[in-house]
Amino acid sequence: MNIGKIIADRRKRLGFSQQMLAEKLNISFQAVSKWENGTSCPDVAILPDLAAILKISIDSLLGYPTQSLTEYDKRYSTEGYYWGQTPNTLCYEIMRLKPPTKPHKVLDIGCGEGKDAVFLARNGYKVTAFDISEKGLLKARELANHCNVKIDFFKADVRDFRLETDYDIIFSSGVFHYIPQEQRMIVIENLKKHTLASGINVINVFVRKPFIPLPPDIEESEILAGDWRSGELFMYYHDWQFHMNEENTFNCNSSGIPHKHCMDVLIAEKI
Ligand SMILES: C[S@@+](CC[C@H](N)C(=O)[O-])C[C@H]1O[C@@H](n2cnc3c(N)ncnc32)[C@H](O)[C@@H]1O
């Protein structure tokens, strides 16, 4: 993403007009407008102030989204399992719709510390899983060894990874909000193409609602990816059969500060 688009996205997320941002920087609003429409770039000398006002690092302002990697590596470096070891309830939906009467091939995208991948493997699925975090993968491998299951874990970035083999089930929980707006169609078309006939995609994604404040622990990479709109995920699967398409609002305390999230959940079958 270019710097103008990052400034515009971030400014809007913080509820500033171009005029308000200009005043904070002691410059004209035309200068801000020029940055945002790509006719000029901010001077290097202004970057530290601009980044501070937009509550973003200079790296991220320049389009280097490194935050999710370091953030998750940090979380996964602590003792124990950050997300616990209880499988996501969607795993039971997978078992209901595609019972392991044969070793269905599953791909878990953004598997974290592997609780869902391991659960599915223990139940007879042939699981492949990837994540961007080495630390998460390390724990996931340990969990798989401990449970005596074989899983093909590897490191990849959902934003630029493209599948070459086909799967019966593609699963992803709590990850798609990292996919930038302009890449969503490409990523999802690739997943759909590499889902076998009668296979399913099971995906959830955080969506933005104007009446729910931004979470206090929102990450830069999520901000840079841009909001997911309510129903957007469902739209990409308009030509598949839906087994679940629901939107849930729930309370969260992840940062120690109580807040709310809204999430769209999809289970769709390739007919
Ligand atoms: C909210 S956690 C969910 C983990 C796991 N799916 C679960 O439900 O336990 C988000 C995961 O996405 C991973 N992630 C973040 N950005 C990613 C990217 N660009 N490509 C792949 N994984 C990514 C993080 O490392 C993290 O493990």
pLDDT for the residue numbered 66: 52
> Any idea which fold 3-64 has?
434 Repressor (Amino-terminal Domain) (1.10.260)
Q: Is the distance from the beta carbon of residue 67 to the nearest atom of ligand 1 less than 6 Å? A: no
**Is the minimum distance from the CB of 157 to ligand 1 under 6 angstroms?**
yes
| 210/1: higher pLDDT | 210
pLDDT tens, residue by residue, 38-65 = 999 999 999 999 988 887 778 778 877 5
With pLDDT > 90 as the criterion, what percentage of the chain qualifies? 77
Which string of DSSP letters, residue by residue, matches 39-107? S----GGGHHHHHHHTTS-HHHHTT---HHHHHHHHHHTSSS-TT-SPPPHHHHHHHHHS-TTS--EEE
Q: Give the closest residue (by CA) to ligand 1 atom 19.
A: 157
Is 158 a pocket residue for ligand 1 (Cβ < 6 Å)?
yes
Tell me, in angstroms, the distance from the centre of ligand 1 to residue 68's CA: 8
Is the CB–ligand 1 distance for residue 68 below 6 Å? Answer: yes
Please identify, by atom number, the ligand 1 atom nearest to the C-alpha of residue 174: 1
Reported pTM = 0.80
Mean pLDDT confidence for 23-36: 96
**Burial degree of 136 (CB within 10 A; 0-12, 13-18, 19+):** buried
Mutate to test the pocket of ligand 1, among 66, 68, 134, 159 (most ligand atoms within 8 A of CB): 68
Ligand 1 and 179: CB distance under 6 A: no
What are the sequence ranges of the domains in the chain? 3-64, 75-269
pLDDT band at 256 (very low <50, low <70, confident <90, very high): confident
Residue 110 in contact with ligand 1 by CB distance below 6 A? yes
- Which residue, 261, 228, 268, is CA-closest to 244? 268
For 60-91, what is each residue's pLDDT tens digit? Answer: 788 775 545 568 898 999 999 999 999 999 99
Domain 75-269: CATH superfamily is Vaccinia Virus protein VP39 (3.40.50.150)
- Distance CA(163)–CA(228), nearest Å, equals 23
Cα 239 to ligand 1 centroid, rounded to whole Å: 27
Which pLDDT tens digit goes with each residue over 215-247? 888 877 788 788 999 999 999 999 999 999 999
Residue 65 has what pLDDT? 57
pLDDT of residue 12: 85
Supply the pLDDT for residue 220.
76
**pLDDT tens-digit map of 122-148:** 999 999 999 999 999 999 999 999 999
